[in-house]
Structure 1
Amino acid sequence: MFTWYKELTERERNTFWGCFAGWAVDAMDAQLFSFVLPILIAAWGMSTAQAGYLATATLLSAAIGGWACGYLADRFGRARIMQLTILWFCSFTFLAGFAQDFQQLMFLRILQGLGFGGEWAAGAVLMGEIIRAEHRGKAVGTVQSGFGVGWSAAAILAGLVLAYFPQDYGWRVLLMIGVLPGLLVLYLRRKLEEPEIFVRTRELVEKTGNRPGLGAIFQPETLPTTVLSSLLAFGVIGVGGAIVNWLPTFMKTVRELSPGASGYYVFVVTGGSFFGFLASAYLADRLGRRRTFQLFLLCSWSITIAYMFLPLSGWPLIVLGAPFGFFTIGNYAALGPFFTELFPSAIRASGQSFAYNFGKAAGAAAVSMIGILAQHIGLAEAIGLVALLGYSIAFAATLMLPETRGIQLSSSYEPSAPRSDIGAASPQGQTPALRARR
């Protein structure tokens, strides 16, 4: 399953680990807040609606930051923007530990979110452009498993810190720790280079003077791809992110677990997500991008219903947490290679980051909706309803997007148009025009 890694060049491996480490720290810093949230609800007297607004503001700022960083990555380079984003969000994670009230924390979380969105935007494109076509799905998807490592690290830290520090300042310690791994990632990334395809594309842009603007991804020839990929991202990232945001609160208020026990429990879920990332990455190259999404979405529907609505506790709850994380969160892995292949090189980072961060922004609305609905129908029911709606939208998007497995990237402006066939086409089965456009 991992023989492909041995075939990577030193440059490909350096990029692999630089992105893996960055995404792990990104996920860890984001997930740490989900363990802090139930503590602040009790300590500051926050309502579930306020908690939802706090998470929503972060996700919205991440969407704005991600789109902006994608545009900057198209202009100034993927590796350069990656260094900036990780320094940014780690700094504001640390500063959030000094917040004294809801308003201060809201302000710092908004600034923190700008870096969250940019980290994935630049990293996914860098990976997609450097890794060769036959391994792109496996490599980019496996790097995405860094999120599972980050979530697990957050769960372990939350379990330890909240177990040994009083809660009135233990949450501050938890957030401040987030800056330390970021410094290590900055060191690991010092040797990262820009992809050759980006260098060639930038030379072409400078030669012709035809520099795409922020609105290039909304041009008629690109708009269908932008819209459909954004809807797919909403179903996969938005719903998954909303569930992850509310999971510790769900465990404490519905399952009546302590914050420390919730942290260890979420570790099982994120452990399942790690293997889900690996499986999704492998299947994306094996079955195709769309069939992989469809399989994971169908399984996520089933697991969500069982997880939220069955009267589970103890070991059955823990056991079901593994497949829950495997399908619901592991589904993220195929987004990176799929989006890289859908957009042309000159606007690849802009298009990819917009679609991904639209999913985050729409997911922000899902987080708030869960908080509001929970006041009327219960938290489990609210999570279940929003999740099923998002999965349905994502499944419909996969039926209208083209299959891109095996496409060779090139310094081209022209995007591929979505086609209506629903089979997972092989590279040999694609038309010469579609291959040339990439």
Structure 2
Amino acid sequence: MFSWFREIDATERKTFWACFGGWALDALDVQLFSLVIPTLLALWHISKADAGMITSVTLIASALGGWVGGAISDRIGRVRALQVMILWFALATFASAFAQDYNQLLVLKALQGLGFGGEWAAGVALMSEAIRPSHRGKALGTVQSAWAVGWGASVLIQTSIYSFVPPEIAWRLLFGLGLIPAILVIFVRRHVPEPEASPARAPKAQQARTPLLGIFSPDVLRVTLVGLLLGTGAHGGYYAVTSWLPTYLKTERHLSTLGTGAYLAVIIVAFFFGCIAAAHLLDRIGRRRTVGLFALSCVIVVLAYVFLPIGDTAMLILGFPLGFCSAGIPASMGALFSELYPGGIRGTGVGFCYNAGRIVSAIFPFLVGHLSEQMSLGAAIGIDAAVAYGLVVVAVLMLPETKAVKLDAVDAPGAPAGAGVRSSAPAQ
């Protein structure tokens, strides 16, 4: 399963571990909020719609952060941008521990979102250029599995702290741990070099002057718009489920904190294996087929999870395919998006497509909270998620296959932006 890892060199491995660690710690910080929603509902007497608004604002901020962070990586380099973004979201999460009311937490979570989105964009651009084409899909998909590692760590930490510390203090301790990712910057600074394919290492005359807006040039505009649709559906479905799942298990399934942790553990482990499966499918059957397969599976499994009249044991078992299928789309988007753009605007394109979809998808977790006032929370989750994943199926049908294309730092002089990327022959 991981035999490909032995074929890459030391520099590729160090880059892999830096991005894997960054994404795991990113997930640790981001997922903490979904775990403390029940506590905040009780302590601050806010509504579910208010809690959903915090998640939505965070996602909107992460979209802007991804777009801008990707553009920054196109100008100052992937490695330097990665360091800046890791420090940003770590400090914002830590500051959230000191929020005194709803409005303060809303602002701090928005600041966290800026760094969260930028970190992913810089990391994917770095990985896509540092790893050889034959293993790019496996490497980027496996890095996405780090989300399960960070998510799992957040559940374990939350379960442990809530078992010994009163909830009104425990939630602050959880956010305080958000400073941990800052340590990763030391490793990145010492061991991860800028890739040869990075536009930051190209001659200045060939570097993109306006990467922030270059993704809207006529030759790549269609890709950008379809990528936005795909990102909207992928994130809308994922966050409609994961933002509200702990609350659903606790309020409608009436599980204790420990019981909720057990159900989430099954989903998180399955998410990890789903990322690994998608990673291998990307380099075997291609990007489009992998994304489409997982999107259709998500629709079926999510509806079964929240609508079928099943007992707690059956729900625990069904949690595995739920986590497995929800992993495949995010695990695939890094490889797909990075191969659709030329080097000079690659970071910007990756950051926009993956994160800008969150601006639109941010409505989904808010709607779950709003719709749950008229129907059950489970029904609201199921309807929203099914609509969102349906958008992914539509979008992937409109994109080209980019399996194993060779990435260059910039286009050849005089060539239209992106032409060299989409028309490249697969590298062996």
Provide the rounded CA distance (Å) in 2 between the counterparts of 1:240 and 1:179. 25
Matches for 1:276-295 after TM superposition, within 5 Å: 276-295=274-293
Determine the structure 2 residue equivalent to 1:31.
31
Q: Percent identity?
A: 43
Corresponding residue number in structure 2 for 1:345: 343
**Aligned residue runs from structure 1 range 1-400, under 5 A:** 1-180=1-180, 182-190=181-189, 191-199=191-199, 202-204=201-203, 206-208=204-206, 211-400=209-398
CA distance in 1, matches of 2:400, 2:52: 35
* Aligned equivalents of 1:378, 1:31: Cα separation in 2: 23
Task: Rate the CA distance shift 1:415–1:232 in 2: closer, same or farther, 3 A.
Answer: farther
The code of the aligned residue for 1:355 comes to C
Alignment partner of 2:382: what SS?
Answer: helix
Q: Deviations over 1:171-227 (max 9, x none)?
A: 1111112222x133223212111110115x6534x2257623421111111110001
> What amino acid is the match of 1:435?
S
* TM-score, structure 1 as length reference: 0.93
CA deviations on 1:137-165 (whole Å, 9 max, x unpaired) are 00111011000101110111111111111
**Aligned-pair CA distance for 1:261:** 2.5
Kindly state the Cα deviation for residue 34 of structure 1 after the two structures are TM-superposed: 0.6
Rounded to whole Å, the distance in 1 between the matches of 2:84 and 2:326 is 30
The answer as to whether partners of 2:34 and 2:246 remain within 8 angstroms in 1 is: yes
Deviation at 1:432, TM superposition (A): 10
Partner of 1:435: 424
User: What is the DSSP-based 3-state SS (H/G/I as helix, E as strand, rest coil) of the residue aligned with 1:375?
Assistant: coil
- Give the conservation status (yes or no) of the 8 Å contact 1:35–1:263: no
Partner-residue secondary structure (3-state), 1:410: coil
CA gap of 1:415–1:395, structure 2 versus 1, over 3 A, is farther
Deviating more after overlay: 206-215 vs 405-414? 206-215
User: Which amino acid in 2 is paired with 1:114?
Assistant: L
Cα shift at 1:256: 1.1
The aligned amino acid for 1:196 is E
- Letter of the 2:253 counterpart: R
Q: 1:437 to 1:317 in 2, by over 3 A?
A: closer
Counterpart check, 1:402 vs 2:400: yes
Q: Distance in 2 between matches of 1:358 and 1:57?
A: 13
Structure 1: runs of 5+ lacking an equivalent = 418-430
Identify if the C-alpha distance between structure 1 residues 433 and 359 changes in structure 2 by more than 3 Å, giving closer, same or farther: closer
AA matched with 2:314 = P
Contact 1:129 1:197 in 2 (8 A): yes
Structure 2: distance between partners of 1:45 and 1:324: 31
Give the superposition deviation at 1:241.
2.2
Q: Aligned equivalents of 2:161 and 2:422: distance in 1? A: 56
Write the distance in 1 (CA, Å) between the matches of 2:357 and 2:5: 30
Distance 2:295 2:417 in 1: 26
Provide Cα deviations, 1:309-343, integer angstroms capped at 9, x if missing partner. Answer: 11233221111111100001332111111111011
Change (3 A) 1:386 1:209: closer
TM-superposed deviation, 1:263 = 2.6
Is the deviation greater in 242-251 or in 19-28?
A: 242-251
User: How has the CA–CA distance of structure 1 residues 130 and 432 changed in structure 2, closer, same or farther, with 3 Å as cutoff?
Assistant: closer
- State the 1:362 CA deviation: 2.2
Distance 1:167 1:350 in 2: 40
| Separation in 2, partners of 1:210, 1:312 | 55
Q: Distance in 1 between matches of 2:256 and 2:421?
A: 58
| Shift of residue 167, structure 1, vs aligned partner | 0.9
**How far off its partner does 1:384 sit?**
1.1
Task: Give the counterpart letter for 2:33 in structure 1.
Answer: F
Provide the rounded CA distance (Å) in 2 between the counterparts of 1:355 and 1:381. Answer: 29
Pair 1:198–1:416, CA change in 2 (3 A): closer
Q: What secondary structure does 1:196 align onto?
A: coil
Conserved? CA contact 1:117–1:357, under 8 Å? yes
The question of whether the paired residues in 2 share the 8 Å contact of 1:65 and 1:113 is answered with yes
Contact 1:275/1:330, CA 8 A, preserved across alignment: no
For the structure 1 residues 20 and 436, does the alpha-carbon distance in structure 2 shift closer, same or farther, using more than 3 Å as the test? Answer: same
Matched length: 422
For 2:382, give the aligned amino acid: G
| Secondary structure of residue in 2 paired with 1:312 | coil
Contact 2:342 2:421 survives alignment (8 Å): no
Deviation at 1:289, TM superposition (A): 0.4
Instruction: State the shift of 1:437 in Å.
Output: 12
Question: d(CA) in 2 for partners of 1:333 and 1:254?
Answer: 30
| Contact 1:31 1:151 survives alignment (8 Å) | yes
- Matched letter for residue 93 of structure 2: T
CA distance in 1, matches of 2:384, 2:422: 39
Amino acid at match of 2:329: N
- Give the Cα separation in 2 of the matches to 1:437 and 1:16: 22
> Contact (CA 8 Å) 1:74, 1:350: kept in 2 or not?
yes
The amino acid that maps onto 1:141 is G
Return 358-367 or 16-25, whichever deviates more.
358-367
Q: Which moved more, 1:149-158 or 1:258-267?
A: 258-267
Distance in 2, Cα, partners of 1:66 & 1:168: 33
Amino acid at match of 2:325: F
